[in-house]
Amino acid sequence: MTTTVDLLVPGLITTRDAIAAAYGCGTFQGIEPAARAGKVFVYSDPSAGEEYGYTFDGRAEDDEFGPLYLYTGAGAIGDQKPSGRNGSLLSHVEKKRELHLFVAAGRVPGSGTMQQRYIGQMVLDPIKPYDVRRGPGQDGVMRDVLVFRFRPAEGTTPAWTEADNLPAAAATTIEVTEPVVVAPAPVVLPQQSGTKVKKTEQHSTPETTADIPAGQRKVLRREGELVTAFTAHLAAAGHETHSFQITIAGEPGALTPDLYDATDHILYEAKGLTTRANVRMALGQLADYRRHTPERETLRVAVLLPSAPTADVQDLLTEENVALVYQTDDGFSGWPLA
């Protein structure tokens, strides 16, 4: 007889029915909490999104914090909300529930039942739990889609393969999005909260971790709060703001600029630290974004910072024809742009 331990071995092929029988969760939704077992099961099926014209699920490129898996939230029609089943993902650490990821792995031979390949235990990114993307719903109407960002739980080795990588976009497209800034309070990671992290005996690759440094977490939260404050500042002045979701042909994922002022046709890139390295990164991002932005010939670009940079960095921005806006005690210096 298969035991519950056997069902959570990375790489194992199983079914929703087997998981439900072992842990007491449902079998039909992509996000299935199992409250008594202290777990949340997530079933990723990239082909389901393709039916509606988009694919957000899959293994994204590693970033500075390591491996990343993207997962489309619940809700087939209308804007997706961070509540209900989506809320069970956002609260899994707070409720001390393990998060386990499965990926659809074809039908059981001779049956219509979908098999599930267990990837491993995950945690939701504590800095940026989700992105907001634009995609059609089941009714064909474009809407906001929550794309959750999963990290491998500390001490685990996910069983993903190249087949799990995000597919490359077929064409370069641009969609208008609302600026949704997520700046959550720091969360306690599973091994610190008392949640038991399952260890595996299959370690063919180096161990990964979701332990994002507290200092970097603070910086990125500051960046989100900066964009939120400046968006409110622009709104108070009667300006319309949003951003873009830019997909590039032949590349997975999407480019997502921080903020676009549609009233003045200005694109802003924000950084949480006022350092030369951060400003140089912002310059590169703005140069990339503007190539794909509508009416780029007349587009102005600006760097948004929490304080004034050094005189030489200001000279660098001037020479690159990039405006500077930074936060002060009573507002924002450099705005409105000359």
Q: What is the CATH number of the domain that holds 36?
A: 2.30.280.10
Contact assessment for residue 207 and residue 155, using Cβ atoms and an 8 Å cutoff: yes
151 and 240 part of one domain: no
Average confidence (pLDDT) over 75-96: 92
Token pair of 11 as six digits: 């790489």
Helix axes 311-319, 276-290, angle to 10 degrees: 10
Cα separation of 47 and 44, whole Å?
A: 9
Give the mean pLDDT of the chain: 84
Q: What is the per-residue pLDDT for 253?
A: 80
Q: Is 91 helix (H, G, I), strand (E, B) or coil?
A: coil
204 and 239 part of one domain: no
Q: What is the per-residue pLDDT for 53?
A: 65
203 contact partners, CB below 8 Å, separation of at least 6: 157
206 and 225 part of one domain: no
Token pair of 184 as six digits: 């959550």
Range of the domain at 293: 219-333
Residue 172 lies in a domain: no
141 and 261 part of one domain: no
Q: Is the pLDDT of residue 217 over 70?
A: no
267 and 125 part of one domain: no
Cα separation of 176 and 239, whole Å?
A: 16
Which CATH number goes with the domain that contains 300? 3.40.1350.10
- Reference 158, options 226, 234, 60, 224; nearest CA is 60
Q: What is the per-residue pLDDT for 97?
A: 94
The number of folded domains in the chain is 2
Residue 93 lies in a domain: yes
Token pair of 202 as six digits: 């299959």
Q: Is the pLDDT of residue 201 over 70?
A: no
Cα separation of 44 and 102, whole Å?
A: 6
Residue 174 lies in a domain: no
Cα separation of 285 and 277, whole Å?
A: 13
61 and 204 part of one domain: yes
- For CA atoms 9, 10, 12, 17, the dihedral sign is positive
| Weakest mean pLDDT among 2-11, 136-145, 198-207 | 198-207
Q: What is the per-residue pLDDT for 1?
A: 41
Q: What is the per-residue pLDDT for 175?
A: 82
Contact assessment for residue 81 and residue 73, using Cβ atoms and an 8 Å cutoff: no
* pLDDT tens string 133-183: 888 888 889 888 999 999 999 889 999 999 999 988 888 888 888 764 443
201 and 223 part of one domain: no
316 contact partners, CB below 8 Å, separation of at least 6: 276, 279, 283
Q: What is the per-residue pLDDT for 50?
A: 72
Q: How many H helices and E strands in the chain?
A: 8, 16
Q: Is the pLDDT of residue 208 over 60?
A: no
Q: What is the per-residue pLDDT for 218?
A: 67
H/E element holding 250?
none
Phi then psi for residue 332, to 5 deg, are -135, 125
The alpha helices in the chain, defined as continuous H runs, are: 4-7, 16-23, 46-50, 84-90, 190-193, 214-236, 276-290, 311-319
With bands split at pLDDT 50, 70 and 90, how would you rate the model's confidence at 213?
low
- Span between the terminal Cα atoms of the chain, in Å: 73
| Weakest mean pLDDT among 61-65, 232-236, 301-305, 333-337 | 61-65
With bands split at pLDDT 50, 70 and 90, how would you rate the model's confidence at 192?
very low
Q: What is the per-residue pLDDT for 5?
A: 52
Higher pLDDT, 200 or 97: 97
Higher pLDDT, 191 or 38: 38
Higher pLDDT, 138 or 311: 311
Higher pLDDT, 243 or 119: 119
Cα separation of 192 and 211, whole Å?
A: 10
Contact assessment for residue 67 and residue 151, using Cβ atoms and an 8 Å cutoff: yes
Last residue of a domain, one of 177, 211, 245: 211
CA 85 to mean position of chain CA atoms: 17
Q: What is the 3-state secondary structure (H, E, C) of 279-310?
A: HHHHHHHHHHHHCCCCCCCCCEEEEEECCCCC
16 and 93 part of one domain: yes
Average confidence (pLDDT) over 17-42: 94
Residue 271 lies in a domain: yes
Length of the chain: 338
Residue 41 lies in a domain: yes
Phi then psi for residue 124, to 5 deg, are -75, 135
Q: Which residue bears the tokens 């001490």?
A: 155
13 and 114 part of one domain: yes
93 contact partners, CB below 8 Å, separation of at least 6: 123, 124, 126, 187, 188, 189, 190, 193, 195
Higher pLDDT, 128 or 5: 128
46 and 148 part of one domain: yes
Residue 181 lies in a domain: no
201 and 254 part of one domain: no
Residue 96 lies in a domain: yes
Contact assessment for residue 8 and residue 118, using Cβ atoms and an 8 Å cutoff: yes
Cα separation of 46 and 125, whole Å?
A: 20
Residue 178 lies in a domain: no
148 and 252 part of one domain: no
